[in-house]
Amino acid sequence: MAAEFDGALDDYIQHLRVERGLSKHTIDGYASDLIKFATWLADDRIVLDDVDESTVAGFLVSLSQQGRSARTQARALSSLRGFFRFMVEEHRRESDPTELLEGPKLLSRLPDILSRDEVLRLLQAPSGDKPNRVRDRAMLHTMYASGLRVSELVDLDLGDVNLAEGFLAVLGKGNKRRIVPLGEHARAALEEYLAEVRPKWAKQSARACFVTARGKAMTRQSFWAIVKKYARAAGITKSISPHKLRHSFATHLLAGGADLRSVQTMLGHADISTTQIYTHVSSDHLRKMHERYHPRG
């Protein structure tokens, strides 16, 4: 355990014993949780000053993946919450990284996602230059690149698309708008669709970005069928839905090193505790980094 954590933990234990008068059994439970957290930080070379919401969420998820009960996870979060509140009160930290985190009810329901390889196969499935395949390719790329809800995708207006700058202005829950980047591949796929297909299908007064061959706006049900069709063509056997692309978008971003706040903004989550569920794969990323760089990995 790092010296900085060792000293802070000693002071916190003293605080629990003298100022709060807790029993030895209770203090030992808190200390055990905090030592496990300190060891987890040391294994991944994370210093105490760098601990944030995603770090704590990653630790809680690691407990879940180890098969620890929801009760154990909740106790660990409670131990960490008390410790970091003490650190803030003692002016050793400016903020409490546990303040916005909720207990294990979210951590117990991890979203099922597609692997990177499965996503790639799905995106490549609508190949060719047939109009419907060009549109389907643009929709799949756009949803995965931007992490949109299916309703946000089919409700996207032409005026919400800024190809020149490479972003979408998405109208999400609560009629709140957010700016979401497109990415190079989605931008190219969308540009091809808007140039080659939509002008032939859409009526002049149509506002919807994605339309059918009859010029009507795409529906949620129609896009669901599109996702299933190309999943079968890509040889993906697990259950599939449009929302699974959104889950995959968030998880792959976090596993690649994106910070929790940025992913929260892109997903349009009002509460960061909703986003933390996607950190389950980031712990796998940290494990791989540990194996690569730790002398005893």
Q: Catalytic residue among 71, 105, 173, 238, which? A: 173
Residue 62's pLDDT band, with cuts at 50, 70 and 90, is: confident
* Chain centroid to CA 270: 13
pLDDT tens digits for range 216-262? 999 999 999 999 999 999 999 988 888 888 888 888 888 777 888 88
Query: Has residue 165 got a pLDDT over 60?
Result: yes
Residue 106: per-residue pLDDT: 42
Residue 7's pLDDT band, with cuts at 50, 70 and 90, is: confident
Least confident of 114-118, 137-141, 255-259, 283-287: 283-287
| Cα–Cα distance for residue pair 53/113, rounded to 1 Å | 22
Residue 108's pLDDT band, with cuts at 50, 70 and 90, is: very low
The single residue listed with the structure tokens 């951590």 is 107
Query: Has residue 153 got a pLDDT over 60?
Result: yes
149 is catalytic: yes
Residue 211: exposure state from Cβ atoms within 10 A (0-12, 13-18, ≥19):
buried
State what percent of residues in the chain have pLDDT above 90.
Answer: 48
203 is catalytic: no
Q: Catalytic residue among 141, 244, 246, 252, which? A: 246
269 is catalytic: yes
Q: Which residues pair with 179 in a beta bridge?
A: 169
SS (H, E, C) 117-137: HHHHHHHHCCCCCCHHHHHHH
- So what's the architecture of 3-109+283-293 in CATH? Orthogonal Bundle (1.10)
Q: Catalytic residue among 137, 187, 247, 269, which? A: 269
pLDDT average, residue stretch 67-78: 85
Question: Which alpha helices (H) appear in the chain, and where do they start and end?
Answer: 3-14, 24-43, 53-65, 70-89, 104-107, 116-124, 131-146, 150-154, 184-196, 198-201, 220-233, 242-255, 260-267, 272-275, 282-293
Least confident of 57-66, 261-270, 287-296: 287-296
Where do the structural domains in the chain lie, given as residue ranges?
A: 3-109+283-293, 116-255
- So what's the architecture of 116-255 in CATH? Orthogonal Bundle (1.10)
As a residue count, the chain comes to: 297
Residue 80: per-residue pLDDT: 94
105 is catalytic: no
pLDDT tens digits for range 181-209? 999 999 999 999 999 999 999 988 899 99
The better pLDDT of the pair 50, 271 is held by: 50
Q: Catalytic residue among 141, 149, 247, 252, which? A: 149
Q: Catalytic residue among 68, 229, 243, 287, which? A: 243
- Type of residue at 103: G
